[in-house]
Amino acid sequence: MDRVALRGLKARGHHGVFPREREEGQTFIVDLVLGLDTRPAAADDDLAKTVHYGVVAEEVVDVVQGEPVDLIETLAERIAEQCLKHEGVQEVEVVVHKPDAPITVPFDDVTITITRSRA
């Protein structure tokens, strides 16, 4: 399976369990790796036979900016579901970064990584 990766998609969302997170929002960063067969697109040089990563990026930002959820696990699941709606995408790895998580000790990042596929 071939891979198309999008790294560092940034969007502001209002996800989290604390009222401040819901009210003020924060930046979330998303990395995606889409698994698909790119041979038909390459053979015909045809965008319609692959995944349009620009469209995927816009959809992922819409999910992050959309309905708030408590957990980044839930957010990652929603992003994976959206990616798998694209016909050619057989598998997706989603990493959601929450660099401004409300943690009281110094840290660089909090992430959740999930992999989902058509089964």
Spatial contact of 11 and 61, defined as CB atoms under 8 Å apart = yes
**Among positive and negative, which fits the CA dihedral 47, 61, 28, 70?**
negative
Cα within 13 Å of Cα(67), Cβ side? 4
Q: Annotated catalytic, 98?
A: yes
Spatial contact of 63 and 13, defined as CB atoms under 8 Å apart = no
Which one from 10, 49, 85, 98 is the annotated catalytic residue?
98
End-to-end Cα separation, the chain, in angstroms: 15
Which residues does the annotation mark as catalytic?
Answer: 98
